[in-house]
Amino acid sequence: MTATSDTDLIVVEQDEHVATVRLNRPDKLNAVTQEMSTALVRIVAALNDDPDVRAVVYTGTGRAFCAGSDIQTLDRYSTPWEFRNRRDYCDALRELRKPVIAAVNGYAFGGGLEASLTCDIRIAAETATFAAPEVKLGWIGGGGMSALLASSIGASNAALMLMTGDAIDAGRALAWGLVSEVVPGEELPARARELARTIAARPPIATQGAKANLRAAWNLPLDQAITYEREMQTIAFATNDADEGRAAFAQRRPGIFQGR
């Protein structure tokens, strides 16, 4: 395994083809410092470069998933421009090419909500809550909050969250489509790993291609998105894994995929 953390505030673990990245600052509700953002940039680069990692679980320690940026550290930026040009943890997660599951174990507030939205799949504990509270403090989210929230739960629901700053519970998050599943808190880690293992068992070029196609669908006009998808399909179809998949189907056996 090549992905390791150089800070105790983020824990990286690997079980076969699944890596778990866990924020580990429970006394501060896993609020993210610049040190943690910088570490996450390095962790994501290592995960991308490690062919043995095929799926990632992103979660937090304790009663919070992530309470966003550590507000007490924001005044350390000498100018708004310096703040604007920082390496942000949501930017780091966006660079992750592997499928990533957010296991939302508690508070997902501010940048924590943005981080969960940046992940491909979100599942939540029954006690999880979600909020975009920045408006209460005089600013707004800057890590993709508006666009990702609106695409996830619709413009009206997004406006309600963004303009009031008030939290919603896991049940409402499920009803609105913000999360895919809600499970008892004690079952969340196992369910996240189970889902990650299922994805990791699929051909990795195909799963990463599916992720790229989804991002193209969000960012391109329909005709261009379909063209992009067709090109990605052609690339996947030409791989050894696709040959193995067809052979395994014909022989009625599980496929053995190598990412080639």
- Give residue 29's domain range: 10-200
CA atoms within 13 A on the CB side of 12: 20
Give me the helices (H) in 14-154, please: 34-49, 80-84, 89-94, 111-118, 145-153
State phi, psi for 147 to the nearest 5 degrees. -65, -45
**Same-domain status, 26 and 85:** yes
**Same-domain status, 191 and 229:** no
Q: Which residue has the higher pLDDT, 94 or 72?
A: 94
**Same-domain status, 120 and 34:** yes
**Same-domain status, 65 and 137:** yes
Encoded tokens for 152: 């996830």
**Same-domain status, 165 and 128:** yes
Q: How far is the C-alpha of 231 from the C-alpha of 224, rounded, in Å?
A: 11
**Same-domain status, 152 and 165:** yes
**Same-domain status, 65 and 84:** yes
Give the residue among 79, 68, 81, 64 at the shortest CA–CA distance from 22: 64
Would residue 5 count as lying in a domain? no
Q: For residue range 153-208, what is the model confidence (pLDDT) as tens digits? A: 999 999 999 999 999 999 999 999 999 999 999 999 999 999 999 999 999 999 99
Encoded tokens for 254: 């599980």
Please tell me what DSSP assigns to residue 31.
P
**Same-domain status, 237 and 179:** no
Q: How far is the C-alpha of 139 from the C-alpha of 135, rounded, in Å?
A: 5
Determine which of 73-82, 142-151, 246-255 has the lowest per-residue pLDDT on average: 73-82
Would residue 260 count as lying in a domain? no
Determine which of 53-57, 105-109, 112-116, 141-145 has the lowest per-residue pLDDT on average: 141-145
Would residue 132 count as lying in a domain? yes
DSSP bridge pairs for 10: 23
**Same-domain status, 121 and 237:** no
**Same-domain status, 184 and 233:** no
Would residue 126 count as lying in a domain? yes
Give the residue among 96, 93, 90, 125 at the shortest CA–CA distance from 110: 90
Residue 236: the pLDDT is 85
Answer whether residue 105 shows pLDDT above 90. Answer: yes
Pairing status of strand 55-60 against strand 121-125? unpaired
Among residues 200, 222, 241, which one ends one of the domains? 200
Would residue 60 count as lying in a domain? yes
Give the residue among 26, 35, 34, 47 at the shortest CA–CA distance from 98: 47
Q: How far is the C-alpha of 101 from the C-alpha of 116, rounded, in Å?
A: 8
Residues tagged active-site: 114, 134
Q: For residue range 29-73, what is the model confidence (pLDDT) as tens digits? A: 999 998 999 999 999 999 999 999 999 999 999 999 999 887 676
Tell me the average pLDDT of the chain. Answer: 91
Would residue 2 count as lying in a domain? no
**Same-domain status, 235 and 211:** yes
Would residue 18 count as lying in a domain? yes
DSSP bridge pairs for 122: 102
- Domain count for the chain: 2
Determine which of 89-93, 128-132, 246-250 has the lowest per-residue pLDDT on average: 246-250
**Same-domain status, 170 and 236:** no
Calculate mean pLDDT across residues 123-127.
98
Would residue 257 count as lying in a domain? no
CATH of residue 187 = 3.90.226.10
State phi, psi for 4 to the nearest 5 degrees. -135, 165
Return the amino acid letter for 194. Answer: E
Determine what percent of the chain is predicted with pLDDT higher than 90.
67
